[in-house]
A = this chain, B = another copy of it.
Amino acid sequence: MTNPLRLESLEALDAIDRHGSFAAAAAALYRVPSAISYTISQLENDLGVAVFDRSGHRAVLTPAGRLLLDEGRRILTATRELGAAARRVADNWEPELRIAVDGLIPPTDLWPAIAAFGAEHPAINVRLTEEVLGGTWEALIDDRVDLAVGVADPPAGAGVRRTAYADVAFAFCCAPHHPLAERTHAVTEDELRSHRAVVVADSARRLSPRDAGLLDGQPRLTVASMASKVAALEHGLGVGHVPRAWVAEALAAGRLVELPLERPREAAQTWLLWRSGAPGRALEWFIRRLGGDRDQPMPRASQMRS
């Protein structure tokens, strides 16, 4: 049993319903009424089903006709969209762009770019995932994302290109009611060691996980994301370094306090990474927007962009 349904029949059905009569539909399709009659009776023959009830003066849809009309419209739409999507792909626009943002960068950082992209290219989907440390790199290498944003120390790796993204400065924080908050002078490493550190777990599935900026012997609370880490710090569960952009508001509101450190952690240079090879145009759009001119990959002086 081969496919017994023609798109032209559905198109005709749609036009008839839209314009109210065979004659009007014919006019709308720049055809003669008999052609519409022919198309519909062909549909009815193919299907072995009455689509219109002609017992009255004007033809009226049967229940089966109603179903064909309603569902047929979905098929027509899908078909038209498929045509458009194919054209876009041929023009090197990806149907979907997948972006991983590293825990160092608040995802809100990307919203303006994503909103602007969505306004320009409403038909292209953007999928944003959040990863931590090696997980961001791994998502790119494993082809789970097309663009990695805010990776701090990308391993040397063939097949990956990069351009500078933001410098991320850290604040060493704890809750106001945390014992360390009493301190007025810079905290030494020895003092630190007796307080629990909140750390974010590397989200790598495959590569060996690494932890960042930790003193040996310090007790830990490991959480899954930077957002959880901030929440944990606010609840006084420990201390830790957090990118300033993540805690600016909490510091201003007094939910967290910043502690001076004897050896403060220096700002981290972060990168925009993508696989080399022919990038799609959506990827190029984001590289240009987020990374600026990628032919001059130099570290940016700014901290986080808002």
Contact = CB atoms under 8 A, between A and B. Distances in A.
Interface of A: 3-7, 11, 46-51, 62-65, 67-68, 71-72, 74-76, 78-80, 82-83, 85-87, 89-90, 95
A214 B132 CA distance: 60
B6 A86 contact: no
A80 to B, nearest CB: 6
Nearest to A77: B3
Given A67-B85, A78-B75, A82-B71, A90 B3 contact: no
A29 B58 CA distance: 40
Contacts of A83: 3-5, 46-47
Contacts of A46: 83
22 contacts: A3-B7, A3-B76, A4-B83, A5-B7, A5-B79, A47-B83, A47-B86, A47-B90, A48-B90, A49-B86, A49-B90, A50-B90, A51-B86, A64-B86, A65-B86, A67-B95, A68-B82, A72-B82, A74-B78, A75-B75, A75-B79, A78-B78
A56 to B, nearest CB: 18
Contacts of A11: 3
B7 A80 contact: no
A75 B75 CA distance: 7
Contacts of A86: 47, 49, 51, 64-65, 67-68
A87 B50 CA distance: 9
Contacts of A80: 3, 5
Contacts of A90: 47-50, 62-64
Contacts of A47: 83, 86-87, 90
Contact of A75 (B4, B49, B82, B95): B82
Number of copies: 2
A47 to B, nearest CB: 6
A78 B75 CA distance: 7
A85 B51 CA distance: 13
A206 B149 CA distance: 54
Contacts of A82: 5, 67-68, 71-72, 75
A80 B78 CA distance: 14
A82 B5 CA distance: 9
B76 A89 contact: no
A49 B5 CA distance: 25
A206 to B, nearest CB: 27
A85 B62 contact: no
A219 B86 CA distance: 67
A7 B7 contact: yes
Among A63, A86, A87, A89, which residue has the most Cβ atoms of chain B within 10 A? A86
Contacts of A68: 82, 86
Contacts of A63: 89-90
